[in-house]
Amino acid sequence: MAKVKDIKWQKGMKVFELVKSLGNCGFQGVELNKAVECFTKMKREGAKIYLTFTSNMTTSGLRGFFAQLIELKMADVIITTVGSIEEDIMKAIGEDFYIGNYSADDVGLHEKGMNRVGNLLIRNESYERFESYMLEILAKLYAKKNRYSVSEMLKEIGLMLKDERSILYQAAKNNVPVFCPAITDGAFGFHLFMFQQDHKDFVIDVVQDFANLIFSSTHDDKKAIIALGGGVSKHHAILGTLLNGGADYAVYMTTAHEYSGSLSGATTREAKSWGKIKDSADAVTVIGDVSITFPLAMFAALDILSEEGLI
C-alpha cells in the first residue's frame, strides 16, 4: 500500500516531476498522475487517439495547445462541438477574446455587445466578422461542389485558414479528421441554413460523417479516448470506438459528477458496463477544471515522451 508523501518545490522542477509528486499527495492528484501514465502508454502502444473537447475549451487558451497536439501526432481524430469551430475560425482571422469575471453585470455586458462564457468575453463584432467570413467560405465551397460530409467541409475550411495555432488548420495539414456531430447547434448552423435558402442543392451530410467516424478505426486497431468535458463530443468518440470493439485506453476529465446519471459525469468505470471501454482497458477519470488538469497532465506526458524520442 502506497504511503502519502509531502510535496516539495525544487528549483528547476519539470512538470512531470510535479505531477508525479502530486500522485503521492492524495485526492485528485493521484488520478492526475494516472492520466499521465495513460497518455504515455497510449502513445507508446501506437493507439489511435480520439481527442474530444467542448467549445468552452477553445474559447480559452487551450485552443492553440489542441492545435499543437495535432502537430505533435498526439491526436488522430478530433471530435468537438460547433462553438469550437466558430471560435477557432474567429481567432484564426484575428479576433481576440478577453478575460472578465464571473460576477460581471450581464445586463450591462449585453448592452455593450459583450457575451460572457464563464469569466471570458466575446464581442458581438467577432460574430459579425465571422458571418462575413462564412459567406465567403461557403461560396467558395459551393463553387467546388454542392455536397460535403461535415468533416470534409471542415478540412476544406482548415486549408483556407493559414494559422499555425488553428485547430482546423493543423488538422487539415496533418490529415486529422474533425468531427462535429451537432454542426447546426450555433451560429455556424444558422449560416448554413441561410446559405441553403439561396442554394437549395447545397447539402452537409451528417449521416455520411457518421460512416466516416465508424471507418476511422477497425477492430484490430488499438484505440484511445481523451474526453475533455462531456456532451455530444464525448459520446460520439465512445460510440465510434464501441462499434469497433471498444477503447483500450481512456482518460475522462470533467467537472461533472456521476450521481446525476448524465453522460458528462459518467466515469470510465460506468463505460465498461456498456462495452464502450474494454474490460482490460487502462482508464482513469479526473475530476476538476480541464483548463488546469489537462495541461498539467499532458505537459507531463509530453516531457516523458520527448525524453523517449516519441515526439
Active site (catalytic) residues: 276
CB-based contacts of 185-189 (< 8 A; 24+ apart in sequence): 185/81, 185/82, 186/55, 186/81, 186/82, 186/83, 186/85, 186/86, 187/86, 187/127, 187/130, 187/131, 188/82, 188/85, 188/86, 188/134, 189/82
Which of 66, 84, 259 minimizes the C-alpha distance to 170?
66
| Contact (CB, 8 A) for 233 and 54 | yes
Neighbours of 75 (CB within 10 A): 26
42 contact partners, CB below 8 Å, separation of at least 6: 49, 222, 224, 248, 249, 282
Distance between CA 280 and CA 41 in Å, rounded? 14
Buried b (16+ CB within 10 A) or exposed e, 242-266: bebbbbbbbbbbbebeeeeeebbbb
Amino acid identity, position 231:
G
Q: Which residue has the cell 475533455?
A: 228
Q: Tell me the H-state helices in 60-165.
A: 63-71, 82-92, 106-111, 124-144, 150-161
Which of 98, 59, 99 minimizes the C-alpha distance to 80?
59
Cα torsion for 206, 211, 214, 215, to the nearest 10°? -130
Q: Grid coordinates standing for 267?
A: 466515469
3-state secondary structure at position 178 = strand
